[in-house]
C-alpha cells in the first residue's frame, strides 16, 4: 500500500476561472488514481488537522518570516486579493495552505515509519515561495518546511530535495541553501520563469546542484543528466530521506513551458530515485495539462508499487 495524503479542502484555495493552478488539477489526479489498475494498493489518508499538528508553526517560521505569514493571513481574512500578479489569495487560502503543509509533514512521518514512498496530493504548491514573499502560484515552501521537520525526527541527519518541476524552485533553494544538512537539486527549463537557478550556484555548503536545460529538451537530454549528475550528487550526499518536488509541467502538452517530456518519463525518474532509496516523499508542485499531469502521477506511483 502506498499512502496518498489528500483532502477535498485543498479545492477551497480558489484562484479564478482562468488561472492555470486550479482545483480541478487535484480532481483530475484523484480520479485517475481511483481508476488505475493499482487503485486497491493506494492508502488514501486525510491530513492531520492544523490544530493537531504541534510542530507546524515552529517549522513554518524556519522557512518564512512572521511578517509574511501575518500578511498572508490578513489578505485571506479580509476576503482575499493578489500576492502578486500570478498568485491570488482567496478567503480560505491561508487555512488551506497550512493544511497543505500539514499534509507534507504527515508525508514525512509516513515515509519514515514505513521506509517506503508516500505521495502528497495537495495544493497550493510551494517551491517558488520565498521567506518573505509568495509568488508563482505558491504560498508556503512545502518541501523546505518538510525537510526542516524531517531533521527533527530521530535518526534523520541529512535530507535531500530533488525538484523536477520545469521551473526552478527559487524559494526552496533560497530557504535551504544555508543549511548544510539539506541538499537541493533542480532540473529546470532556462530561460523560463522565475529566471533563477544558474548552474554556477552551489549553495553555501556545496549542497546545491542546478541543471538548467534549454527549451525543447526531451528525455534524451534528461536521462544523461540523471545518470551523470543527479544520481551521483544525491548518492554522494547520503541523505536519510529524499523529498521530491514533483512538478509535471515538463510534459510536452503543458501550456506553461516548452519541455518535451512524456508521462512515462516520470516513471524513469522515479525508478532512478528508487535505486537510491525507498525513503521518498513525493509532493505535488506544478503541472497544468490535466491529462498528462494525471498520467504522470499515475506513472510515478505505479513505479513505487512495482
- DSSP secondary structure string, 184-231? EEEEEESS-TT----TT--TTTT-EEEEEE-TT--HHHHHHHIIIIIH
For residue 234 the three cell numbers come to: 544525491
d(CA 285, CA 239): 21
Which residue is associated with the grid cell 535518526? Answer: 155
Minimal CA–CA distance to 42: which of 288, 213, 282? 282
Per annotation, catalytic residue among 13, 64, 127, 128: 128
What number of CA atoms fall less than 13 Å from residue 199's CA on the CB side? 10
- According to DSSP, the residues that pair with 5 across neighbouring strands are 45, 120
Instruction: State the burial class of residue 253 (Cβ atoms within 10 Å of its Cβ: 0-12, 13-18, 19+).
Output: middle
Separation of alpha carbons 303 and 59, rounded Å: 31
Q: Are 109 and 3 in contact (CB under 8 A)?
A: no
Concerning whether 128 is annotated as a catalytic residue, the answer is yes
Largest alpha-carbon pair distance within the chain?
50
Handedness of CA 72, 77, 81, 87 (dihedral sign): positive
Question: What DSSP designation does 100 have?
Answer: H
**Catalytic annotation, residues:** 128
Amino acid at each position: 500500500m502506498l499512502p496518498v495524503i489528500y483532502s477535498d479542502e485543498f479545492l477551497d484555495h480558489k484562484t479564478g476561472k482562468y488561472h492555470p493552478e486550479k482545483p480541478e488539477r487535484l480532481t483530475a489526479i484523484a480520479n485517475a488514481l481511483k481508476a488505475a489498475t493499482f487503485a486497491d494498493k493506494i492508502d488514501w489518508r486525510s491530513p492531520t488537522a492544523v490544530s493537531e499538528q504541534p510542530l507546524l508553526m515552529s517549522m513554518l517560521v524556519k522557512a518564512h518570516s512572521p511578517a509574511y505569514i501575518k500578511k498572508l493571513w490578513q489578505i485571506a481574512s479580509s476576503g482575499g486579493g493578489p500576492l502578486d500578479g500570478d498568485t491570488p489569495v482567496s478567503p480560505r487560502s491561508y487555512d488551506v495552505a497550512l493544511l497543505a503543509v500539514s499534509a507534507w509533514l504527515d508525508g514525512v512521518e509516513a515515509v519514515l515509519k514505513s521506509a517506503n514512498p508516500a505521495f502528497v496530493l495537495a495544493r497550493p504548491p510551494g517551491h517558488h515561495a520565498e521567506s518573505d514573499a509568495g509568488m508563482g502560484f505558491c504560498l508556503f515552501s512545502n518541501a523546505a518546511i518538510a525537510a526542516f521537520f524531517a531533521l527533527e525526527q530521530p535518526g534523520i541527519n541529512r535530507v535531500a530535495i530533488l525538484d523536477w518541476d520545469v521551473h526552478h524552485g527559487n524559494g526552496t533553494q533560497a530557504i535551504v541553501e544555508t543549511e548544510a544538512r539539506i541538499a537541493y537539486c533542480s532540473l529546470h527549463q532556462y530561460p523560463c520563469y522565475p529566471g533563477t537557478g544558474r548552474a554556477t550556484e552551489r549553495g553555501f555548503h556545496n549542497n546545491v546542484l542546478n541543471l538548467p536545460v534549454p527549451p525543447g529538451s526531451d528525455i534524451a537530454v534528461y536521462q544523461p543528466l540523471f545518470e551523470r549528475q543527479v544520481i551521483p550528487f544525491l548518492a554522494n550526499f547520503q541523505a536519510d530521506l529524499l523529498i521530491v518536488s514533483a512538478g509535471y509541467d515538463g510534459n510536452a502538452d503543458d501550456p506553461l513551458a516548452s519541455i518535451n517530456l512524456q508521462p512515462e518519463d516520470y516513471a524513469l525518474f522515479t525508478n532512478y530515485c528508487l535505486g537510491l532509496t525507498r525513503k521518498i516523499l513525493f509532493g505535488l508542485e506544478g503541472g497544468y495539462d490535466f491529462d498528462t499531469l494525471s498520467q504522470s502521477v499515475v506513472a510515478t506511483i505505479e513505479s513505487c508499487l512495482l
